Amino acid sequence: MSAPAIPGFAFVEHLGSGGFADVFLYEQQWPRQRVAVKVVRPDVPLTDREKYLFTAEANAMARLADHPYIVSVITAGVTAEGGRPFLVMRYCPPPDLGVRVRANPMAPVDAVSTGIKLASAIETAHRSGILHRDIKPSNVLVTTYHEPALTDFGIAGHMADVEGDNDVRISYPWSPPELLDGRSNGSVASDVYSLGATIWHLLVGRSPFSIPSGDNSTRALSARILHATPPATQRPDVPPSLDRLLQQCLAKRPEHRPASALELARALQRIESAAGWARTSVAVEGDRPDASVSPSDAPGSSGSSGSSGTSGSSGSFASPGAAGPAEDATAMKPVTVISASGPRRIAAQDPAPALQDGEEERAGVPGLVWAGIGVAVLALLIGFLVLGGNDREEDPGVVVPTESQTPADVIPDVLVEAVTLTGSRTPRGVLFEWRPPVSVEAGDSFSWHRDDTDEYGSTSRRRLLVRTDEPVCLDVRMTRGSDNSPSASQCVS
């Protein structure tokens, strides 16, 4: 495969191909670094539509270039031969996240942390008025520092313009129902759905509605996405709250999903906290003010030294004539070259006056006296330790155990497994039934929670009828005294 000649860049190898572009690895000559270059394929007609999509991708990624979890664009241009548009981007070594989890799905703690980082990137794009519309594992690269980086904004759209699009490119396994049936050309809710499907994929190694060794054609997948109940991951190490959140993201109706990518990130943070995992920060501009910068220090403020710069200068740099604190100044220091034959020292600026011969002799006498005293004291101390050290009594504050001590047995938890919960739609509503994990005793009860209405309740029975025609999710846990079982969740559409 031929790579285009781009001044200032040397071709290294072909990395991959997408729907309408090839991606190559190049070596940038100055400053020297490896970069990924995305070039429109020669066999793709450069219609106004293709040029618009490529320009939109370049502009979208440039606006989001400083986000830590979005692949940054370095520059863009058009090849001299053939006039093919290209993007120069930060290089993230393969494989992408989709390939990485295919045979080795992520641990829940890592999937949740990755989900928060990607939600931060998507929320940042949404706040800039950009919809991604193609979030999926293969569009998440991994940096050399093992951080996720969202890429491929090739079919991204501006929120105000997407409904006017005549055609929308979609990736079926991660696309929401409203994109499949044409009700929408993309929205915040559709990006939230695709992110939820991506996190589900990271945990299982496949998309939510694909069936191992089953019919995963576009038609079969579309039918399941449109009509099947959002599945659970079926992983025993996945917290029920995470399964429940991902099923909410995959809800058929957009209004039943988290209202924003930020809301999804906050929900994932709550799961981290409940599980005792390390907290992952949300990286959204303006979400967390920098307490270390006072308003008077901010660029462009009346009290800022940078306010004296020209109106067109960037707020990231102080104006050339701005005065800063004296201790921040960079000063020139003369270098003293010292012989390597002895220990290195810095020559004093004002050497002390040399002692006269008589003064030098007198100054040496007290030093000899003190050295002799020190040797005598040291000898006495060593003799005391050698001769009298063995007669010391054991420290009365130290208790030496004569036998091992085993703590008493910890009272074991009884309710360590969740109830077995099922749900089915009946003419009267949705009937949920459950089987307790242990034999029921007097005083046992079952606590339940409806996700759609946020209603809570408790019952001693083993079934609950929810009178509704809408999709509903129910959480149930068994309670015995102060002991609670893990929560079980079931959704019925």
Residues marked active site are found at 133
Q: What is the C-alpha separation between 141 and 191, in angstroms, rounded?
A: 18
Check if the beta carbon of residue 245 is closer than 8 Å to that of residue 267.
Answer: yes
- DSSP lists the bridge partners of residue 28 as 9, 33
Check if the beta carbon of residue 430 is closer than 8 Å to that of residue 472.
Answer: yes
CA geometry: angle 306, 309, 313, nearest 5 deg: 100
- DSSP lists the bridge partners of residue 57 as none
First to last CA, the chain: 49
464 CB-near residues (< 8 Å, 6+ apart): 431, 432, 448, 457, 474, 476
CA geometry: angle 444, 445, 451, nearest 5 deg: 155
Longest dimension (CA), the chain: 116
Distances (CA, A) of 118 to 73, 266, 267: 18, 12, 14
Helix 240-249 / helix 188-204 crossing angle, nearest 10 deg: 140
For 270-285, give the DSSP string: HHHHHHTPPPPPP--T
Check if the beta carbon of residue 186 is closer than 8 Å to that of residue 108.
Answer: no
Q: What is the C-alpha separation between 461 and 383, in angstroms, rounded?
A: 84
At 121, phi and psi to the nearest 5? -65, -45
Q: What is the C-alpha separation between 201 and 220, in angstroms, rounded?
A: 18
CA atoms within a 13 Å half-sphere pointing along the CA-CB vector of 418: 18
